[in-house]
Amino acid sequence: MYDQNKIDDFFLRSEQTIKTCDRDSAFILISSEIDNCETRYLNEYITALNFIRHEKVLDWIEMSAHRITDVNLSWGHLAASSYFNWNKADKWLTKGRPLSLISLDALVFCTSIGERLNQSPWMRQIQPRLVDNPKPEIVAARVQEYLKTDAVPRTKRVVNQIIENIFDAGY
């Protein structure tokens, strides 16, 4: 059974933690609670980490990959909000699913300029970018290379979006 009250309570506690603690402490407290949550709540609970905006979240995602059963946009959103960088993107593409899908989604968020369809107000506000600012040609070549190992329709669509973003939108 899915308990929305449980999720709402978690978000209230997380919001209070973020308001009263420094970034490192908030990350530790919130990520620890997520580590102990039931897997069925994982995709909802991770949203709280967006507002910490801490690069440690990227390592946490990597360590939590074994629990990820449904890779929705929330994971890419979280990575992009957490100072995503090209080294991590490339590493996750190499590791494969679920990290590769998270990497691709984060790359879409980090290469979008201006408003995009279905973009959250949070992403419009922070306008995430890849921290280490790789050359567009490097990103394009790597995501096209990834297609050789994972060419399902979702992956093709996301790779095309990344390439369109970096070349057509002036990334």
Q: Examine the domain organization and report whether 85 and 147 are in the same domain.
A: yes
Question: pLDDT grade, residue 123 (50/70/90)?
Answer: confident
Count helices and strands (H / E) in the chain. Answer: 11, 0
pLDDT, the chain, mean: 94
Q: Examine the domain organization and report whether 44 and 70 are in the same domain.
A: no
Domain total in the chain: 2
Q: Examine the domain organization and report whether 1 and 41 are in the same domain.
A: yes
pLDDT of residue 118: 59
Q: Say what the pTM is.
A: 0.94
Residue whose token pair is 């309570």: 9
Q: Examine the domain organization and report whether 61 and 10 are in the same domain.
A: no
Angle between helix 86-95 and helix 136-146 axes, rounded to 10 deg: 10
Over the stretch 44-61, which tens digit does the pLDDT of each residue have? 999 999 999 999 999 999
Q: Examine the domain organization and report whether 67 and 48 are in the same domain.
A: no
Distance between CA atoms of residues 155 and 150, nearest Å: 7
CB 57 within 8 A of CB 49: yes
Q: How many CB atoms lie within 10 A of CB 114?
A: 8
Pick the last residue of a domain from 52, 68, 93.
Answer: 52
pLDDT of residue 171: 60
Query: Residue 38: is it exposed, middle or buried by C-beta count within 10 angstroms (0-12/13-18/19+)?
Result: exposed
Over the stretch 87-107, which tens digit does the pLDDT of each residue have? 999 999 999 999 999 999 999
Kindly calculate the radius of gyration of the chain based on its CA atoms and give it in whole angstroms: 16
Question: pLDDT grade, residue 65 (50/70/90)?
Answer: very high
| Domain residue limits at 62 | 54-171
Across 131-141, average pLDDT:
96
